[in-house]
Copies of this chain bind each other. A is one copy, B any other.
Amino acid sequence: DFLLALDEVHPSFGVSETELKQCVTNGIFKFGNHVERILSDGQLFIGQVRNSKRTPLVSVLLHGPSGSGKTALAATIAMASDFPFIKLISPESMVGFTEQAKMNHINKIFNDAHRSEFSVIVIDSIERILDWVAIGPRFSNTVLQTLLVLMKKAPQKNHRLLILATTSQRHVLQQMDMADVFDASIYVPNITDLDSVDLLLQELKTFTDSERRRAIDTLRASGIEARGISIGIKKLLMITEMASQDVDKVDKFVYTLTDEGSGGAR
Contacts and interface: CB of A to CB of B under 8 A. Distances in A.
Interface in A167-189: 172, 175-177, 180, 182-185
A96 interface: yes
A91 interface: yes
A95 B107 contact: yes
Contacts of A144: 133
A237 B141 CA distance: 30
A22 interface: yes
A210 interface: no
A44 interface: yes
B176 A266 contact: no
A134 B176 contact: yes
A221 interface: no
A11 interface: no
B95 A150 contact: yes
Contact of A180 (B66, B138, B153): B66
Contacts of A104: 96
Nearest to A176: B133
B44 A246 contact: yes
Contacts of A154: 22, 25
A152 B22 CA distance: 12
A133 B55 contact: no
B135 A139 contact: yes
A1 interface: no
Contacts of A237: 54-55
15 contacts: A22-B154, A25-B54, A44-B245, A47-B245, A48-B244, A48-B245, A51-B245, A54-B240, A91-B148, A92-B149, A92-B152, A133-B141, A135-B176, A138-B141, A182-B266
Interface of A: 22, 25-26, 44-45, 47-48, 51-52, 54-55, 58, 66, 91-92, 95-96, 103-104, 107, 128, 131, 133-139, 141-142, 144-146, 148-150, 152-154, 172, 175-177, 180, 182-185, 235, 237-238, 240-242, 244-246, 266
